[in-house]
Copies of this chain bind each other. A is one copy, B any other.
Amino acid sequence: MSYARQMLDTYPRDFNVDTGVLAATIDALNDCIQACTADVAADLSEQNVAEMVKCIRLCLDCTDVCAATAGVVSRQTEYDANVTMPLLEACTAICKSCGDECERHAQMHEHCRVCAEACRRCEQACRELLAALK
């Protein structure tokens, strides 16, 4: 069981959303942060780095937005739809863009294939949390 799930299970307050959905989203966000951070480093080691520039930029943006979303979603301050909803929308959008770009390089670079998968899973998880919150 992930630490995200263990921590949610021991949280002293109730959530307005299913704990399993919440934990799955946090896990997907953390996986995506790690994959994008590592993919930037891997892209920078490639001979064709000039062709990887867009991928690097999107991975950097994706890391930043996923990190903010993981923090806000983990904290469950009080459910503030004005913050959480657009943040999850921004996160879904960057995971989609980043996943698309990584996929373009997936055949040439295995690390981009793995990163695309992490982005797709995170995009899907954020969509499910958005739906659950609505």
Interface residues of A (CB under 8 A from B): 2-4, 6-8, 10-13, 26, 30-31, 33-35, 37-42, 44-46, 49-50, 53-54, 56-58, 60-61, 64-65, 67-68, 70-72, 74-78, 80, 82-87, 89-90, 93-94, 96-97, 109-111, 113-115, 118
Could you say how many copies of this chain the assembly holds?
4
Question: Other than the known A10-B111, A38-B74, what 16 A-B pairs have Cβ atoms closer than 8 Å?
Answer: A3-B35, A4-B34, A26-B34, A30-B33, A30-B34, A37-B70, A40-B60, A44-B57, A49-B50, A57-B77, A61-B71, A64-B68, A65-B83, A67-B67, A84-B90, A86-B89
Give, as a whole number of angstroms, the nearest-CB distance from A89 to chain B: 4
A65 to B71, CA, bound (A): 9
The reply to whether A7 and B57 contact each other, CB–CB distance below 8 Å, is no
A82 to B83, CA, bound (A): 16
Measured between beta carbons, the chain B residues less than 8 angstroms from A34 are: 2-4, 7, 26, 30, 70, 74
Measured between beta carbons, the chain B residues less than 8 angstroms from A8 are: 38
